[in-house]
Structure 1
Amino acid sequence: MGLAELVAGLGMLGASGWAVVQLWRGNQNPGDTSSIMALVYAAVGLPIALAGLKAAWPQPDDALELAEKAAGTLAGKVRKTEGRQLRALVGGDQERLTLTFTRRPYDRARGEGPEQGQLKGNGPSAGPDYPDIATYYQSCTKPRLVITGAPGAGKTVLSVELVRELIKRRKPDGPVPVRVSLAEWDTKVPLEKLLIDHVIKAGISEERATWILEHQLVLPVLDGLDEMDPGLTDGDGNPVRGPDGRQLPDPQAPRALAALKVLNEYGAVVAEQPLILMCRTDHYNGLPVTERLCHAVGIDIDPISYVQIQAHLTVLFEHDPRWRAFLDALPARWSDPQYGAVLRETLTTPWWLFLVKTVYDRSGDPSELFTCTTTQALRDRLLSLFIPAVVDSGATRYDAERVRRWLSTIACHLQNRPVAVERIHQHQLWPIAGEHHVRYLDAAAAGLLFLLLLLPVPLLTGIWSPELIGLISLGAVLMAWKAAGQAGDFPPCVPWGRVFSEATLLLLITGLPPAFVLAALGGLVSLPAALLFSGIGWDWFVTFIPTLIIFWSVWMGTIILEGSGISQAFTSMYPTDVNTAVRWRYVFRGDLLIGCLMFIAAGISTMTAWWVMSFSNTLTITSVPGLDIAAVGLLAVSARWVMVFGGGRRHLVFLLCLQGQLPRRLGRFLKWSHQVGLLRTSGGAYQFRHREFQQWLAATSPAGHGIT
């Protein structure tokens, strides 16, 4: 039995019992009798209506068919999202290299697969013995695949292409590949819950998302196992770096090992549970063999060969004198015992080769790379020129210096969090402006908003008693204290098209009836309570019962409204690209819409509880002024609204505190950065184009910049 059925049943029993007592006592006129019977009919009709609604709702027998239809909808959304992601990753580079991969050495409970494969680019194929990535996966003896590669080897592009190709080949009853980031996954949360939440964010209802998972219609493509834990440190907490300057992976990696333990137990028959996992080669090789993904085939992305690099750059820049000189000198430099290793360690990965092409596409001399004597110096040179090259490549309102400063601020903020993360959510960037500053100013704003909402009470009643002023002031202090402790979760986000939509209707249907029933139940409870306290001589408390019941009814009604529909109707219905969807005027609109709905629920609760209590001969409800009752209801709903919903308010405070650290129109800047290739998207959040780019921005930023 659900909460709605329980509340409706209690309301029916309470109303029926109270009606029997009243009719037994007699002395009612026809109008009183009609009112009593109307209440009974309403209480009895509510469970019947709920039963009818439940009967009309899709039943478990229909779940498979509905899940397959929902999976088809999900596949279409994923296809569009991954298409945008691929365009952002590739950019204007129309000449894509062919990537090859080789089967990894067997780990544990191995599966069988071809020895090698490819992701074909615009150039020549690697050969007939190299199947494409989707064909490779489908030809494996077990549907579990591990993809590893060096930093910048092309794992993300490979996974995007794999997802897109699998969707093209998908049958109506086949699973939908969905890319999910593991970086911020709390392994205490079940994997099924993580996947359901991801499907919901793609625009599928929670119930249908659950059906999709129950019928195994999701193929998880899990990225970021190597991002779950910080790197290896020495006894003093300093990073331990390898010969190439990168921080070495931690072989203990507690979160990654916990994730692998969950994955190795996922599914009724683990060996038959489809799963794709991606990780950096050195991180995965550093983990104990006994803890790696079992019942899986592993592949490792190969470095780009010198022949591929030479042919690729020749096709792109054959008629450019700057590049012609570079290509003429490249063979000798490549084999040079002193400088060759620097070039080989850098240019053989797609990421660094992409940077070389981007940086020197329009200006500059690529031959200056030959002067770099270390791998780190060469990479620092390319990274320092990346933002200026992107800014110069097209008309934009931003200059390179400000873009670098803003991105460095964000990178430093991410790097200095308790657990370094890579996902950029707008609503979580507010600590950049000074965590204490934003918290305290937001607390002050919450208290002020509470005072403004309750200002009509003394104005309408004409009562400015010390007790009333003290009560309102205490409420403002409590609201400020509550706001100061909020962390800033996803705020409700409501475009105009969803104000008058199924989501709002769902919120009204699921939230308002329980609020009505709870208010009626509160009124019913007050009737015997009034008799009891009157019988023992507590008449002073009897006069307080109406106020207490009104406050309780409104408070519980708004809680029911909040819990029954808001998370499903708005917060959980974000598109996959959350940051594109979350425009802050939508956040303010969401706060206002939810506030209006909460005030409607408060009005219904107040009138219902007042009406039920009016049947009592003990409660002197008619002696309580209507404005006083309204004031109590306003106090409850104002407190609840200010406590729960403040995304727009906190963002406004965040903007006022920025002081130039980030652009005022932050969403527009992040969207532009994504469009030009400085950022990418993953799991509904922005990320820097590459982790090394983020780390370089944080390392070259002034110490402590943006952190308080």
Structure 2
Amino acid sequence: MSGHRSRLGWAPAWVACLAVCGAVTLAGVAVGLDRADKLASVGSFVLAAVALVTVRGGRSGKQTASAATRRRDELLEQVAEAVAAQWRDEAETRGLTHPLPLSMRWSPADPVVMDRLTAILDGPVHAEDEDLAREFYLSGGLGEIADAFQRLPTQRLVVLGQPGAGKTVLALQLTRELLRRRQPGAPVPVLLSLASWNPAELHLHEWMATQLETTYPVLRAPAPTVRSRTRSLALEFVQAGRITPVLDGLDEMAEHLRPAALQALNRALSGQPDEAAPLVMTCRSEEYHHLFVPGAVGSSDTGGPTAQPLAAAAVIELCPLDLDDIEAYLLQATPASQRAKWDPVLQHLRTQPQGPYAQALSTPLMTSLAHSAYSQTAADPAVLLAPEFTDRSHIEDHLLDRLIPTAYAARPTPDRDSDCWTAEQAERWLCFLALHLHRRGNRDLAWWELILAIPRIGRWLMYPLPASIWLTFWTVAASPGWWWEWLSVLGLALSIGPAGPSRPSVTEIRTSNVAPSLKTGFALGAICSAMGIVVDNLPDVFSGQWCLCRLFDGLLSLWLPVMLFGGLAIGLLKLLFDNPVDTSHSASPRSVLRADRASTLVLALFTASVFVIGWIFVLGFDALAGVTYVVVAVMFAGCLRASGQLFWVRAWLGLSGRLPWRAMAFLDDARQRGVLRQVGAVYQFRHARLQDHLVANGSKSHQR
């Protein structure tokens, strides 16, 4: 596995510089100039050591132009491998490879929503040949999607369809097939969810780079270059056209942002170095049509459309499933001895091909839900013919209602990290999560944003709680009667305000790097201490007052602790800022949480080391007071980190019954059961229809 440095560059040296300056100033005020001078000596040498670590790493990053090019190519191949592994596993988890892929087909969309055919085909097309050209380029089936995409001269494609028509599945399968056909050095197709993009705040390239850095650790590195280290590898690949974006869910963006998103896409495509600039995008048919129809939702009130079609992009629309495809899919997974139970339903579909049952099962989503609820269980699908199901929406709501009970009827497999949650518990917790996302207008379920699910008063108490625990101990055990300090610090903690979400750290701390980093740190700490001993004793040597006893006294009381704790601090900084990234996989919610916990632990140990040096050994204050300050500093640091906030989320929401204590295990288990899906480092509900359905159910329960 390859490794490279973080882009933070000189950040450790600047952090250490500010810390030393602040410590010296406080020491001069608190304990006098003599000890402050000694503190300055210690700080300057520690700062020199940190700078040495940084400069050493910076020099090692210099490369020749040819070496930088080779490195870029190597990293691009690692990205392709990580993307392929990610979607191979996700396709298996979503059941897209078995029992039988649904035979989806598509046809040309309404010409009003696409660019001129001559622009799409990059050449003149005679009027009498337009229908033939559309049929050739814009018609096909699931297995032909990659061929159709690569036939397009511009390789720009928009996929439309009604809710549940299989747009995301088509985009996923297209990504996998393009990766399978990809040649070394070619652009890498990457599937991204558009739900989190706000074109009013972020340029398309910046948003894509942020998403890529979160999901693929290899792209968090600075770009290999001879001169500048300011651009991330993700941003360089995006701007150079080495990433083919497969953008899923324009309809999942806020309604007022969709026209701006199309305009931003057109601007970004026109600025690409390669005029072809391949791109794939999916959207619901109705929402996409409204962007170009005057007076409709998403259009201006002045009578003119607010968006222009995606430049040179072909637009296709997914067709409803055929009855033969529905029958083959439902029967294939049903045991032969039970296939007869489908006869009444299939007979009804054939006698009423335009009825509500046929309409409901015309989408892959509803057909797959029927398959899960009835083909894989002993339940009788004839219930679908009940007289209370008078229209399509009633049947779809019934199938959505069956999903969670069916998913949680099966016990988890032995290798699955889960508790035996009941369907009632799971539905209650999932309704809460769906309502949380609905209030925020979001589709991405990021664990580090669950802090926003806590009421404002709960988030306000995050900081005063550790302060209260520490100050109570300090008042009772250390300094009885200091109630005024208790109130002042508690008031300061309250003044911070309610906690907001903190993005998790992207730095991966691996155990194999701990020993080398600490070894370097202790070595530099020993050098700093030796230089400090020399500087501390030089005045006595020149004045003739030097003695061996004073040397040993300074060594034991100051310089040996500085060597140990200073070396630990330097080693931890090196571990945090100069840590190789694992490039063999894409990030998952679990791996992001582990990385943030590890970096939080390293920062906590660094904070403790600095406090021990400054408070106890340099300033000479009471050890008990120093320990209490270390504890409160670490607790406050934890409250500012995403993984520390998750602990508060688990406690608050767990005690209130809104989520289980093992929230991450529950989310991962829901993904394994097919209720949630994983998109990089975040979860999403299996389908937006499911999320909306749970929102409606949760709202009804709340009203009752």
The TM-score, its normalising length taken from structure 1, stands at 0.70
> How far apart, in 2, do the equivalents of 1:672 and 1:303 lie?
32
CA RMSD across the alignment: 4.6
Match of 1:143 among 143, 155, 174: 155
Aligned match of 1:423: 444
Match of 1:592 among 597, 601, 605: 601
Match of 1:55 among 59, 62, 65: 59
Shift of 1:151: 1.0
Aligned match of 1:156: 168
Shift of 1:501: 4.5
Shift of 1:679: 0.9
Three-state SS of the structure 1 residue aligned to 2:195 is coil
8 Å CA contact retained: 1:197, 1:572? no
Three-state SS of the structure 2 residue aligned to 1:279 is strand
> How far apart, in 1, do the equivalents of 2:701 and 2:274 lie?
46
8 Å CA contact retained: 2:81, 2:584? no
Change (3 A) 1:575 1:705: farther
Shift of 1:332: 1.2
8 Å CA contact retained: 1:507, 1:566? no
Change (3 A) 1:574 1:175: closer
8 Å CA contact retained: 1:224, 1:278? yes
Change (3 A) 1:41 1:366: closer
Change (3 A) 1:3 1:105: same
Matches within 5 A, 1:391-540: 391-394=408-411, 397-417=420-440, 420-432=441-453, 434-448=454-468, 450-451=470-471, 455=474, 470-471=484-485, 473-482=487-496, 484-492=497-505, 498=509, 500-502=511-513
Change (3 A) 1:315 1:286: same
8 Å CA contact retained: 2:593, 2:643? no
Three-state SS of the structure 2 residue aligned to 1:416 is helix
Match of 2:407 among 375, 383, 390: 390
Is 1:331 aligned with 2:350?
A: yes
Match of 1:581 among 562, 575, 591: 591
Is 1:286 aligned with 2:290?
A: yes
Aligned match of 1:321: 340
> How far apart, in 2, do the equivalents of 1:226 and 1:388 lie?
29
Aligned match of 1:304: 321
Letter of the aligned partner of 1:265 in structure 2? R
Shift of 1:431: 4.5
Shift of 1:426: 2.5
Change (3 A) 1:441 1:342: same
Three-state SS of the structure 2 residue aligned to 1:77 is helix
Match of 1:380 among 394, 397, 419: 397
Unaligned runs of 5+ in 2: 1-7, 22-38, 122-135, 224-232, 293-304, 413-418, 532-564
Shift of 1:642: 1.1
Deviations 1:300-340 (A, max 9, x none): 22221223223433444465221133323431132xxxxx3
Three-state SS of the structure 2 residue aligned to 1:226 is helix
Match of 1:661 among 655, 658, 663: 658
Change (3 A) 1:147 1:43: closer
> How far apart, in 2, do the equivalents of 1:5 and 1:705 lie?
48
Deviations 1:643-682 (A, max 9, x none): 5635454333333333222222111111111111111112
Change (3 A) 1:223 1:599: same
8 Å CA contact retained: 1:182, 1:228? yes
Is 1:174 aligned with 2:186?
A: yes
Aligned match of 1:87: 92
8 Å CA contact retained: 2:448, 2:501? yes
8 Å CA contact retained: 1:606, 1:633? no
Change (3 A) 1:679 1:429: same
With 687-696 and 187-196 compared, the bigger mean Cα shift is at: 187-196
Change (3 A) 1:80 1:449: farther
> How far apart, in 2, do the equivalents of 1:104 and 1:573 lie?
40
Change (3 A) 1:472 1:593: farther
Aligned match of 2:247: 222
Three-state SS of the structure 2 residue aligned to 1:663 is coil
8 Å CA contact retained: 2:607, 2:630? no
Change (3 A) 1:427 1:53: closer
Matches within 5 A, 1:186-201: 186-187=198-199, 188-201=201-214
Change (3 A) 1:44 1:485: closer
Three-state SS of the structure 2 residue aligned to 1:701 is helix
Three-state SS of the structure 1 residue aligned to 2:120 is coil
Matches within 5 A, 1:69-88: 69-88=74-93
Change (3 A) 1:704 1:589: farther
Aligned match of 2:679: 682
Letter of the aligned partner of 2:343 in structure 1? R
8 Å CA contact retained: 1:102, 1:299? yes
Aligned match of 2:379: 364
Three-state SS of the structure 2 residue aligned to 1:348 is coil
> How far apart, in 1, do the equivalents of 2:276 and 2:687 lie?
33
Letter of the aligned partner of 1:591 in structure 2? T
8 Å CA contact retained: 1:163, 1:177? yes
Three-state SS of the structure 2 residue aligned to 1:90 is coil
> How far apart, in 1, do the equivalents of 2:206 and 2:407 lie?
39
Letter of the aligned partner of 1:216 in structure 2? G
Match of 1:108 among 115, 132, 138: 115
8 Å CA contact retained: 1:447, 1:480? no
8 Å CA contact retained: 2:83, 2:190? yes
Change (3 A) 1:97 1:156: same
Shift of 1:156: 1.3
Letter of the aligned partner of 1:324 in structure 2? D
8 Å CA contact retained: 1:493, 1:589? no
> How far apart, in 1, do the equivalents of 2:91 and 2:12 lie?
50
Aligned match of 1:22: none
With 643-652 and 350-359 compared, the bigger mean Cα shift is at: 643-652
Shift of 1:141: 0.6
> How far apart, in 1, do the equivalents of 2:626 and 2:506 lie?
29
Change (3 A) 1:114 1:505: farther
Change (3 A) 1:475 1:103: same
8 Å CA contact retained: 1:147, 1:301? yes
Shift of 1:379: 1.0
Letter of the aligned partner of 2:245 in structure 1? P
Matches within 5 A, 1:552-571: none
Aligned match of 1:549: none
Three-state SS of the structure 1 residue aligned to 2:379 is coil
> How far apart, in 1, do the equivalents of 2:491 and 2:53 lie?
43
Change (3 A) 1:344 1:58: farther
With 199-208 and 81-90 compared, the bigger mean Cα shift is at: 199-208
> How far apart, in 1, do the equivalents of 2:481 and 2:424 lie?
58
Change (3 A) 1:308 1:450: same
> How far apart, in 2, do the equivalents of 1:501 and 1:490 lie?
25
8 Å CA contact retained: 2:9, 2:54? no
Three-state SS of the structure 1 residue aligned to 2:347 is helix
Match of 2:263 among 240, 261, 264: 261
Shift of 1:353: 0.7
Matches within 5 A, 1:223-242: 223-229=248-254
Change (3 A) 1:38 1:405: closer
> How far apart, in 2, do the equivalents of 1:474 and 1:508 lie?
42
Shift of 1:686: 1.0
8 Å CA contact retained: 2:154, 2:276? yes
Shift of 1:424: 1.3
Shift of 1:351: 0.5
